[in-house]
Amino acid sequence: MVSTTHEDSTTGPATGTATAAAAVDRAKAEGRAALVAYLPVGYPDVRTSIEAAKAAVDGGADVVELGLPYSDPTMDGVTIQRAVDAALAGGTRPADVLRAVEGVAATGAAVLVMTYWPPVDRYGVDRFARDLASAGGAGLITPDLIPDEAGAWIGASDAQDLERVFLVAPSSTDARLALTAERSRGFVYAASLMGITGARATVGAGARQLVERTRAAGAERVCVGLGVSTPEQATEVAGYADGVIVGSAFVSRLLDTDDTASGVRAVGRLAAELSAGIRSA
Amino acid sequence: MTAYDEPTVDVPAGEVPVSFGPTPLAGERGPYFGAFGGRFVPEALVAALDEIDAAHRSAMSDPAFVEELAELHRTYSGRPSIITEVPRFAAHAGGARILLKREDLNHTGSHKINNVLGQALLTKRMGKKRVIAETGAGQHGVATATAAALMGLECVVYMGEEDTRRQALNVARMRLLGATVVPVTAGSRTLKDAVNEAFRDWVASVDTTHYVFGTVAGPHPFPVLVRDYQRIIGVEAREQVQQLIGRLPDAVCACVGGGSNAIGIFHAFLEDADVRLFGFEAGGDGVETGRHASSITGGSPGVFQGARSFVLQDEDGQTVESHSISAGLDYPGVGPEHSWLGDSGRATYRPVTDSEAMDAFKLLCRTEGIIPAIESAHALHGALGVARELGPDAVVLVNLSGRGDKDVDTAARWFDLVSDEDLVASEVERVSDAPEDTEGSGW
Ligand SMILES: Cc1ncc(COP(=O)(O)O)c(C=O)c1O
């Protein structure tokens, strides 16, 4: 299912793989922040989730995070839980995620896989890294893998030249910010607040300070996520971060409709609105 | 890099973490037990885990803290718990002697209070005012609600909706004690989902809230912390058995859910090479049926709820639902120290089916006048087998982790002790008392 577009799959990603770092840098060159859109693979079905991700790219997303559904998503609120439960009930498997990566990467967008660690651990870290690279994926975002536990993944991602996005939180000490900045590749994901995913009325007040602290700790690119859902919030975050990460709001567009075509269109519209919000910052 | 001085997990690129053969065995303090353990958690929780680890270390070496806990044990929960020899029960195992460590006689009815009193004191020491907990059988929730009442802490307990039905009595007990019980409707609506929900609460409330983890699983330092508060079971029992029979027992048996009562009684015996250690997991309908909760016997190594350990998972690493008649053992994971003790051969883990456990449950009731928790009945069944294997000269120590009051309803149904009309009546009551209200009931 996963095509190998380069001769030796052990030496690195498919030639021409778009990286999140390059996407963020390109946005920066245009004088704006990047838009990072999250969607879980398999909701409402694998094909539609791929179409929705492509619609987000058409609408202006610079980077796509494809979620690998997991049975115990402790960092997620009810919106993403609902979509992920349905994706699993529909039989979504890691091979589907790799297929989706390939499909979305074909648009030229940078594609990261957002995954809890147990499925990757089970798949085999080296094997997952190889298959992700072959599919044209840029790397992984790992919400429950901290850099000090990530020896196996750091080795595998170095070998495959993949990006590894670790998270920082308002509670992170300066020493941990430095550790995370040093071991991340691509960008550092700053959680805007202490909590789980889900839309919120306001972006965490500590987000700006966390971005500043993370930069001071050595991070080249810092994107902000958790609770960012409206164009106004995107404008606000784009004022101080290198990227704006939006998840639950996209997922809601798919959850709130019975008709997949209009759900996909709504995802594209939201991306366009967020993108406009970012450009107005 | 982290707030505590040693040992810090920092796994080099390309390497898999292992701890390096601790001597003595009992000296292992994590974060890794062999290849198991660690901290697979969101970064947001790392500062709190470091804080707890540091607070726990300083508390354990603070004589005032140690004395305060000992005083609570003596005057509140009723320690030391006694040893009861059960000859009429043991007669069914070919003549070996069987001794029960009576954790069922503790205040609140199980070993869970040992851990909770320690963690509640630690909560105060850290200056936090609110505690949260997960619970399966309700015993850990009741213990946490009890300690919270005693120490004036706000308490929220997460419990799978399925378990609020199975253990309705304990839901009422927690509410009487002033706790808010939140029925969890996500996933399989049992213990693992209650743990997920507690983590979701904690990541947003960690500034003011301590998560009183109920067993020796989860991210470091919980496996070590909970063990340190439970190891008093084995420390007392080792001394008591020696006084009673003039030597150490030949085997020590305990049931294993997450593994806290088992590690609690095992730990003091880890260096006694001649004392065999047996953990009994919930076999449900039988491990071969796939409907069970035997993580070590029927699972595989993986990452689950914060640690690497044995877990029930499918080929994609998705958690597989566990099954057991016993809510307290109905958990697809197990503590990392058990995975390590099992892997290294120091302890032996075996499954016990629902019906085997219920037979032992009834046998203890009828021969000794003790109604055990269904969880503990798994250890009782296992002990009968071990006693037969070891022969008539053997002495087998069993951790009777809890009492069966909470299980009377389940047992009455299992043994058909109530008429159909009674069942219908209690079903009606149950429905009208459906656990929809997520607030406390006003108590
Ligand atoms: C009486 C009793 N025994 C055992 C257990 C299982 O927990 P653990 O394996 O942590 O001792 C429980 C859990 O609720 C319990 O109530």
Half-sphere exposure of B429 (CA within 13 A, CB side): 8
**Residue with token string 């850290």:** B126
Least confident of A269-273, B140-144, B161-165: B161-165
d(CA A233, CA B46): 28
Could you tell me what percentage of chain B is helix, strand and coil, using 3-state DSSP and rounding each to the nearest 5? 45, 20, 35
- Whether residue A130 is contained in a domain is answered as yes
Query: Least CB-CB distance to A118: which of B9, B44, B317?
Result: B317
Q: Which residues of B touch A175 (CB under 8 A)?
A: 1-2
Which ligand 1 atom sits closest to the C-alpha of B402? Answer: 1
B6 near A CB under 8 A: no
Q: What is the pLDDT of residue A141?
A: 98
Q: What is the pLDDT of residue B389?
A: 98
Q: What is the pLDDT of residue B39?
A: 97
Say if the Cβ atoms of B186 and A175 lie within 8 Å: no
- Whether residue A19 is contained in a domain is answered as no
- Whether residue A9 is contained in a domain is answered as no
Query: Least CB-CB distance to A194: which of B9, B11, B44?
Result: B44
B39 near A CB under 8 A: yes
Give B337-369 as a DSSP string. HHHHHHHHTSEEEEEEEHHHHHHHHHHHHHHHS
Say if the Cβ atoms of A119 and B317 lie within 8 Å: yes
B5 confidence band (pLDDT: 50, 70, 90): very low
| Ligand 1 lined by B144 (C-beta under 6 Å) | no
Given the candidates 3.40.50.300, 3.20.20.70, 3.40.50.1100, 3.40.50.9100, the CATH classification of the domain at B33-74+112-226 is: 3.40.50.1100
Say if the Cβ atoms of B47 and A172 lie within 8 Å: yes
- Whether residue A72 is contained in a domain is answered as yes
Least confident of A98-102, A194-198, B382-386, B436-440: B436-440
- Whether residue A149 is contained in a domain is answered as yes
| Ligand 1 lined by B376 (C-beta under 6 Å) | yes
Is it true that the peptide bond before B332 is cis, omega within 30 degrees of 0?
no
Least confident of A77-81, A108-112, B9-13: B9-13
B29 confidence band (pLDDT: 50, 70, 90): confident
Least confident of A4-8, A118-122, A142-146: A4-8
d(CA B58, CA B60): 6
d(CA B192, CA B88): 38
Does the pLDDT at position B443 exceed 50? no
Q: What is the pLDDT of residue B442?
A: 31
B17 near A CB under 8 A: yes
B303 near A CB under 8 A: yes
CATH no., domain B79-109+231-410: 3.40.50.1100
Which ligand 1 atom sits closest to the C-alpha of B136? Answer: 14
Q: What is the pLDDT of residue B237?
A: 98
Nearest-by-CA chain A residue for B315:
A122
- A134 forms beta bridges with none
Told to judge if B309 belongs to the known catalytic residues of this protein, a careful annotator would answer no
- Mean pLDDT along residues B81-98: 97
Query: Least CB-CB distance to A196: which of B12, B204, B317?
Result: B204
For chain B, domain boundaries: 33-74+112-226, 79-109+231-410
What single DSSP character describes residue B133?
Answer: E
B43 near A CB under 8 A: yes
Least confident of B15-24, B343-352, B357-366: B15-24
- Whether residue A13 is contained in a domain is answered as no
- B183 forms beta bridges with B159
Percent of chain B with pLDDT over 70: 91
Find the angle CA(B378)-CA(B381)-CA(B387) to the nearest 5 degrees.
Answer: 135
Q: What is the pLDDT of residue A9?
A: 38
The string of pLDDT tens digits covering residues A263-275 is: 999 999 999 999 9
Number of domains in chain A: 1
Q: Which residues of A touch B317 (CB under 8 A)?
A: 70, 118-123
Looking up residue A210, the CATH number of its domain turns out to be 3.20.20.70
Q: For the purposes of burial, counting CB atoms within 10 Å of the CB of B190, is it exposed (0-12), middle (13-18) or buried (19 or more)?
A: buried
The string of pLDDT tens digits covering residues B103-135 is: 999 999 999 999 999 999 999 999 999 999 999
Q: What is the dihedral of CA B379, B380, B383, B384, to 10 degrees?
A: -150
Q: Quote the domain boundaries for residue A188.
A: 29-279
Longest dimension (CA), chain B: 65
Distance from residue A231's CA to the centre of ligand 1 (Å): 49
What amino acid occupies position B372? P
- Mean pLDDT along residues B86-94: 97
Distance from residue B328's CA to the centre of ligand 1 (Å): 5
Distance from residue B329's CA to the centre of ligand 1 (Å): 6
Does the pLDDT at position B150 exceed 80? yes
Does the pLDDT at position A12 exceed 70? no
Could you give the residue ranges of the DSSP H alpha helices within A114-225? 117-123, 125-134, 151-160, 174-183, 207-216
Distance from CA of B50 to the nearest CA of A (A): 11
> B132-162 burial, b if ≥16 CB within 10 A, otherwise e?
bbbbbbbbbbbbbbbbbeebebebbbbbbbb
Told to judge if A76 belongs to the known catalytic residues of this protein, a careful annotator would answer yes
Least confident of A192-206, B226-240, B251-265: A192-206
Q: Which residues of A touch B203 (CB under 8 A)?
A: 74-75, 194-196
Give chain A's mean pLDDT: 94
Does the pLDDT at position B205 exceed 70? yes
- Mean pLDDT along residues B63-67: 98
Say if the Cβ atoms of B203 and A75 lie within 8 Å: yes
B46 near A CB under 8 A: yes
What amino acid occupies position B101? K
A-contacting residues in B 315-344 (Cβ below 8 Å): 315-319
Distance from CA of B284 to the nearest CA of A (A): 22
A-contacting residues in B 137-166 (Cβ below 8 Å): none
| Ligand 1 lined by B190 (C-beta under 6 Å) | no
